[in-house]
Amino acid sequence: MSQKRRVSATQSRAPKRSQIVGDDEDDEDMSFTQPTSSQVQRARENFTTVQIDRKTAEVVQFILIKDQKKVPIRRADIVKHVMKEYKPIYQDIMKRVTRTFEQVFGMKLLEIDSKNHIYILVNKIEPVAGEPVSLYPSNPKTGLLFVILSIIFMKGGVVKEALIWNTLKKLRVDPGEKHDDFGDVKKLVTDEFVRQKYVEYVRIPHTEPLEFEFRWGLRAEKEVSKLKLLEFVAQLHDQEPQSWTQQFREATAAESSQ
Amino acid sequence: MNRSMGDSHRRFLQTMMSNGIIDNIQARALHQHCCEVHSGHYIPDKLDEFIDVINAQLQPMFMNIRKAMSEEDGLQYYALVNLTETDITRMSSDYADNELELFRKAMDLIVDSENGTASSTDILNCADTLQTKKLRKKEAELVLNKFVQDKWLNEKHGEYTLSTRCITEMDQYIRTMYRDLVKICHVCHNIALQSQMCENPGCGIKMHLPCVARYFKGRSDPHCPACSDFWPHEIPEFHRRQSQASQSQFSSAKENTAPAPSTSSSRRSRR
Ligand SMILES: [Zn+2]
Ligand SMILES: [Zn+2]
């Protein structure tokens, strides 16, 4: 142990991931014109299969990281941070990416906003009872989200914010106070959950003072089973899900359309 | 044999993705569970083959499920490893820059220590010398807690060690960064932090505590396997954790006695 030498770990920081992920909350959607088929053909010849495979892997990793934080994935970000000079063969690579998600990971890459080209990953593998290792290790935020989505659903799809805050207060989650698990509750619900597209938080027109209401977000529509949610609520009330006729109809309809 | 991926493999993979690392017993139970949920063909004892199928698909994505031994208890674990980022940037989507800097400092202290541990006091003392942005002591404590929760560090009585997940995922990084500082276990050839060292100055090999226990088991007069000098340390004992899963057909005798193979090379050679 006489001559110790250490390459300074603190200084050599490989910026790989931060470069890939980037800080992209506020940049504009870049212009995205569809290349012609002959352009695509020519572009394809510029890349080897190995290069295309490598790029596909990079896009898959990029999307997985975004999905971990439940941040919606924008086409503009994929192009800007990962595709770069591969942009002419964007469609080709995305086809491979989509196939990889389905075949390897059991996930579906869905475009939830075709105007702004926003994607989310939807899991085709659902949690089941008796898992020896949890598919989704419990996250207190998920529990809170589930409660909020339940309230909205049971109240017919839209609720005034006051109702949400009052219900949470009854559960000893005060939006005005800092919570041990959730931190700033109001920010979590009206900012983080909104950005993740689990809920929509919109101003009710012509209200004075300002009033807001909550609806389900696009991600919730794709990801959360209304039937499971209703079963959960029914269990709490010690009743059958069928007792809520309208909700039951909506939940079963949603189930069969998926 | 069917080598294609089914939903049972996908469920296993997704569980690995959200947990990062699971132990051998959990992995075996999960294997059975995944096969049963998707009425797949379940063969007990064929967990490694099952994982090979997943790894063949993961390889083009530069990911890999890898076996690893815990330095602490000698138990076998399975970790999902990302091969494109084998350093601390691996964590950068979950932590702020100054939190990552604190992690680097903790890692420096741990690797530089005799026995692979660093005290919370020493780590917290780094918090107000951070170049990115200082952390108050209270904040630094919370961050350390998060590292433990996210399974990057282990903590026992105020002493921090690198977790199995951390050592497995950052194996290459640690070997490169601390080239002349880090030693390899003489028995299992993995990075040895929590370990014993031969006191012969011309030798100085290291062995993990569980590897020491296995290697010297039943020998009354322990000698260094490299230089044959007397081994002056107390030989630790490890009691295998018994659980419902390990008592049944799952516990294969070979895993209990043989030193853990260096899995990184055997795993990667597929295809
Ligand atoms: Zn060892
Ligand atoms: Zn020796």
- The domain that holds A167 is classified in CATH as 1.10.10.1210
Residue A71: what pLDDT? Answer: 82
Residues of A in contact with B84 (CB under 8 A): 16, 57, 61
Q: Is A133 part of any domain?
A: no
Residues A84 and A40 in one domain: yes
Q: Inspect the interface and report whether the beta carbons of A135 and B14 lie closer than 8 Å.
A: yes
Whether A15 has a pLDDT exceeding 90, the answer reads no
Residue B86: what pLDDT? Answer: 66
Q: Is A250 part of any domain?
A: yes
Q: Over A127-193, what HEC string results? A: CCCCCCCCCCCCCHHHHHHHHHHHHHHHCCCEEEHHHHHHHHHHCCCCCCCEECCCEEHHHHHHHHH
Stated pTM of the model: 0.77
pLDDT band at B116 (very low <50, low <70, confident <90, very high): very high
| Domain extent listing, chain B | 7-84, 88-172, 182-236
pLDDT band at A176 (very low <50, low <70, confident <90, very high): confident
A69 contact B CB<8A: yes
pLDDT band at B253 (very low <50, low <70, confident <90, very high): very low
If you average pLDDT over residues A80-101, what whole number do you get?
93
Whether A157 has a pLDDT exceeding 60, the answer reads yes
Structure-derived torsion over alpha carbons of residues B30, B36, B39, B45, reported in degrees to the nearest 10: 60
Q: Inspect the interface and report whether the beta carbons of B18 and A13 lie closer than 8 Å.
A: no
d(CA B122, CA B104): 13
Residues A144 and A113 in one domain: no
A125: nearest CB among B7, B105, B181: B7
Question: Is the domain covering B88-172 a CATH 3.40.50.720 domain?
Answer: no
Quickly name the fold that domain B7-84 has.
Answer: Aspartate Aminotransferase, domain 1 (3.90.1150)
Six-digit token string for A86:
């591969």
Residue B262: what pLDDT? Answer: 37
| CB-CB neighbours of A93 under 10 Å | 22
Residues A41 and A104 in one domain: yes
Q: Is A10 part of any domain?
A: no
A178 contact B CB<8A: no
Q: Inspect the interface and report whether the beta carbons of A9 and B104 lie closer than 8 Å.
A: yes
pLDDT band at A2 (very low <50, low <70, confident <90, very high): very low
Q: Is A9 part of any domain?
A: no
Instruction: Name the B residues in 112-171 with CB < 8 Å from any A CB.
Output: 112, 131
B14: nearest CB among A3, A6, A125: A125
Higher pLDDT, A65 or B109: B109
Residues A235 and A146 in one domain: yes
CA-nearest of B76, B24, B28, B21 to B210 is: B76
ipTM of the complex: 0.75
Higher pLDDT, B39 or B136: B136
Environment of ion ligand 1 (residues, CB < 5 A): B 185, 187-188, 208, 211
Kindly report, residue by residue over A206-233, the tens digit of the pLDDT.
988 899 999 999 989 988 889 988 988 8
If you average pLDDT over residues B244-256, what whole number do you get?
35
> Which domain covers residue A190, as residue numbers?
140-257
Lowest mean per-residue pLDDT among A17-21, A61-65, A101-105: A17-21
Residues A45 and A114 in one domain: yes
CA-nearest of A190, A188, A192 to A201 is: A190
Q: What mean pLDDT is reported for chain A?
A: 83
Residue A248: what pLDDT? Answer: 93
Residues of A in contact with B245 (CB under 8 A): 132
Residues A24 and A77 in one domain: yes
Residues of A in contact with B15 (CB under 8 A): 131, 133-135
Whether B65 has a pLDDT exceeding 60, the answer reads yes
Residues A64 and A112 in one domain: yes
CATH code at A59? 1.10.10.1200
Q: Inspect the interface and report whether the beta carbons of B60 and A53 lie closer than 8 Å.
A: yes
Instruction: Name the A residues in 80-109 with CB < 8 Å from any B CB.
Output: 100, 103-106
A129 contact B CB<8A: no
Residue A171: what pLDDT? Answer: 86
Residue B40: what pLDDT? Answer: 73
If you average pLDDT over residues B36-51, what whole number do you get?
90
* Structural domain count, chain A: 2
Q: Is A192 part of any domain?
A: yes
Residues of A in contact with B181 (CB under 8 A): 4-6
Q: Which chain B residue shows the shortest CA-CA distance from A3?
A: B180
Asked if residue B44 lies in contact with residue A159, where contact means CB atoms within 8 angstroms, the answer is no
If you average pLDDT over residues B148-166, what whole number do you get?
94
Q: Which CATH number fits domain B182-236: 3.90.1170.40, 3.30.40.10, 2.40.440.10, 2.120.10.70?
A: 3.30.40.10
Lowest mean per-residue pLDDT among A122-126, A244-248, B18-22, B98-102: A122-126
